[in-house]
Structure 1
Amino acid sequence: MSVFETDDHRSFRQDVRDFAASEVAPHVSQMETSRKVDSQVSGWIVAQGWLGLTIPRKYGGIGAGHLAKTIAIEEIARVSAAMGAMLQASQLGAAMIIHYGTEEQKQTWLPQIATGECLPTIAVTEHESGGHVLGMQTTARRVGDHYVLDGSKVYVGNSHIGHVHGVVARTCDADTRPSKSLSAFLVRADLPGVRLVPYQRALGLHGFSFGDIVFDNVAVPASDRLGDEGDGLDVAYSSSVLYGRPNLTAVALGILQATADATVSFTKKRHRYGEPLAHHPVIGQRIGRLEHQLRTARTLAYQAAHMLDHGQACDNELINAKYYTVETALDATRDAVRIHGGAGLRTDRPLQRFYRDAIHIDAPAGTAEIQLHRLAETALGVDRGQWSERFAHLTALPPPATAKENAA
């Protein structure tokens, strides 16, 4: 329980928790065994309408805000980090449209996303550029009323189950030479020339798709450009900061909670020298440290989401929450495996899965080093402003209706 939660949040948490226990948990073992991209469980989750948690009601969304979104991702990730990652990744694609879409684009795409009919992705990263977005090589050249895209993207969340890809590419100038400006486009997955690379299995997050997409002479209508030419970097960064960081924080928080649950249960049941393992001072201290980490991480995560919901400047809080929670999840899962001993390494127990899954949460939306670099910029007074201020009118929840308005 957190001071940032309302009764509505707590009720919603229980609904998501019940759903995760009944509809997601029974399929985790199969996802781990097959290590294939899951579409069935993913479909069940998005059908609940949770992609629309931050989509305004006027576009068919729930409009419940970022803290509600954090709770949903956390509770799903507590059972399956892979499905938590699936839920969080699609939110970034929706964010691109919320932040930079025209009214027509919002009316076209957001209702479909809110109902789960459409899964959007965000496709920015490339092999040669990694986190250096300005180093990307994918190009978009204007030809009449279309842009023609050529290049490839890697590690695209929900790549193999997405319906529309939010692609950032280097815009070509008039003589078709790549310019320094980046632009963003909504690229339908079924357009000719869009090709999925056969999925490569990864260390963790089994069931989640984060694969590679090739764009070969893909003609995208100019009406599907997001924002103006040259807005691509802003489209990518605003989504990454305001959605990517809190969403990944929520996944890490779910892993951390699951780790605490499993460790406490194990140390209560396992006996050494005639008493539960939990009663041994060293183990008790480790459990106390885990509880401290969990409480601190949840406070940081919920505070940042609460600030987003209230239109407050909170870029640094979002950065701090991601850094602390992901680093803590990495440390905590490693320590929990040690507490479990040999039992923690067995594939019939969840600890090794938590450990593998936690490693996947570091790089997206900026590694730990990137988060520290951003915090250093703020400390040194050289940061470039806050996205949470620029988009406060879109992240903040509308004020609650007055008694008079409710009566009307």
Structure 2
Amino acid sequence: MLTQQHTDLCQQVRAFGEAEIAPRVSAMEETRAVEHHLPQLIARQGWIGVAVSRRFGGMGAGHLAKTLIIEELSRVSAAMGTAAQASQLGTAMIVHHGSSEQQQDWLPRVADGSCLPTIAVTEPGSGSHVLGMESTARRSRGDWVLNGRKCFVGNSHVGGVHGVVVRTGRGRGHGSLSAFLVEADRPGLSVPAHRPRHGLHGFACGELVLDNCRIPAANMLGEPGDGLAVAYSSSILYGRANLAAVALGIHQAVVDTSSAYAGSQRRYGRPLAALSAVEQRLGQMRAGLMSGRVIAYDAVSRLDRGEACDDELVNAKLQTARWAQESAQWGMEVHGAAGLLVEHGIERLHRDAQHLWAPAGTGDIQAKRLAEGVTGHHTQHLPWSVLLAPSLASTCDGMTRSPAPSGVLAEAHA
């Protein structure tokens, strides 16, 4: 499944994470403030443009490569892995729905790391019910004027341009929403002070306030009424795969941390890892991690090959999040009371794992989508991976697909 290029990329990202991110983790945990430098440094490596075509200066390496980058960053810091994945969603809006002018303007800046895009859909009063949003845009002298409030915007405080979905039509139907690119320095756009959360310390996930924010008509993504399609396609094709990658990174760190602790401790005259209960926990952790990788890598590989894979992406997010959270709890049990101490790191991983459930649809939403595939109650006729197949092909125009030597999957994550 992985090529030698994929393996080399894993090693490159891992070396970066250990050299640049790991030394900052303690400070991010202590201050719980927004980390501005590291997301920008990650962007300057070109990794936000991993699924941007080479004709715009991107890597054109596709979704499997994107998954590996996010996973390796999350292995060191889930906060920074999440920062990297969040801007991929804003990028997706431009890749798949932007006009030629918008792509020429923004994608080179994404590729060279000078701009971090975001996606702003969720609102305090509607949550996952996208059609329930209240933010609006109205026409005014050829422009659009936006008003409303968005929450849980990844990279809210470090983003350079925000992909904002608001209500432009009457009623609550699928054509009532539209999407716009709103530059971070636009008058009328403000970002309230950062509010620290339960985990992912260092990651900015805040609010955007639109107060008579005037933008030109040329900033609309797609056509009027395309807002729901823009939001859903970005969430389904990118958000779920990206969060699966974050889950894999957290899960690997849980296995690493728990096995190292169990190997360094002795209980009842023998290594803690040799006790049957601990041994069982470590084995179950690793089994979930291995299974999660197979599911996630298969889903994004299908995306790179242009195959229908919406349900596979749903399942990847559902299962990897569940297994990572389960293993994080087992890791706490392996550590016992020591797991409550900051220096062992497992309590940070346990907190960070809780952030996997809700984004891009809770686990209950994912299960509902999978059930719709059985009952035939899908709301759209074709999967997004089929509808957007032409533009998806451009995200993988720079990575060769020759197989890696035998055993490279294990080597990549050694």
Equivalent residue number for residue 9 of structure 2: 12
User: Which residue identity lines up with residue 56 of structure 1 in the other structure?
Assistant: S
- Could you tell me which runs of 5 or more consecutive residues in structure 1 were left unpaired when the two chains were aligned: 403-408
Under a length normalisation based on structure 2, what TM-score does the superposition of the two structures give? 0.94
User: Which residue identity lines up with residue 144 of structure 1 in the other structure?
Assistant: R
Equivalent residue number for residue 269 of structure 2: 274
- Alpha-carbon displacement from aligned partner over 1:68-103 (angstroms, at most 9, x marks no partner): 000000000000000000000000000000110011
Choose from 308, 314, 328 the match for 1:313: 308
Q: How does 1:366-377 map to 2 (within 5 A)?
A: 366-377=361-372
User: Which residue identity lines up with residue 225 of structure 1 in the other structure?
Assistant: M
Work out whether 1:349 is the aligned partner of 2:344.
yes
- Could you tell me which runs of 5 or more consecutive residues in structure 2 were left unpaired when the two chains were aligned: 402-414
How far did 1:273 drift?
1.3
Q: How does 1:313-332 map to 2 (within 5 A)?
A: 313-332=308-327
Maintained 8 Å contact 1:139/1:178: no
Quick one: distance in 2 between partners of 1:278 and 1:71? 29
Maintained 8 Å contact 1:246/1:321: yes
Quick one: distance in 1 between partners of 2:398 and 2:345? 42
Q: How does 1:41-120 map to 2 (within 5 A)?
A: 41-120=38-117
Counting aligned pairs with the same residue, the percent is 50
Under a length normalisation based on structure 1, what TM-score does the superposition of the two structures give? 0.95
Equivalent residue number for residue 183 of structure 1: 178
Equivalent residue number for residue 24 of structure 1: 21
1:201 counterpart SS class: coil
Quick one: distance in 2 between partners of 1:75 and 1:358? 15
Q: Would you say how many aligned residue pairs link Structure 1 and Structure 2?
A: 396
Q: How does 1:233-272 map to 2 (within 5 A)?
A: 233-272=228-267
- Alpha-carbon displacement from aligned partner over 1:171-219 (angstroms, at most 9, x marks no partner): 046xxx9986100000011011101111111000000000011000000
User: Which residue identity lines up with residue 304 of structure 2 in the other structure?
Assistant: D
2:343 counterpart SS class: coil
Quick one: distance in 2 between partners of 1:123 and 1:183? 12
Quick one: distance in 2 between partners of 1:278 and 1:360? 29
- Alpha-carbon displacement from aligned partner over 1:307-342 (angstroms, at most 9, x marks no partner): 111001000110001000001111110111011001
- Alpha-carbon displacement from aligned partner over 1:37-91 (angstroms, at most 9, x marks no partner): 0001112111100011000000110100000000000000000000000000000
Q: Structure 1's 66 and 400: CA in aligned 2 closer, same or farther, altered over 3 A?
A: closer
Maintained 8 Å contact 2:61/2:398: no
Maintained 8 Å contact 1:185/1:225: yes
- Alpha-carbon displacement from aligned partner over 1:261-281 (angstroms, at most 9, x marks no partner): 011111111111111111111
Quick one: distance in 2 between partners of 1:285 and 1:84? 29
User: Which residue identity lines up with residue 106 of structure 2 in the other structure?
Assistant: W
Structure with greater contact order relative to length (CA < 8 Å, sep ≥ 6): 2
Q: Structure 1's 400 and 160: CA in aligned 2 closer, same or farther, altered over 3 A?
A: closer
Quick one: distance in 1 between partners of 2:239 and 2:354? 16
Q: CA RMSD in A?
A: 1.5
Equivalent residue number for residue 293 of structure 2: 298
User: Which residue identity lines up with residue 31 of structure 1 in the other structure?
Assistant: M
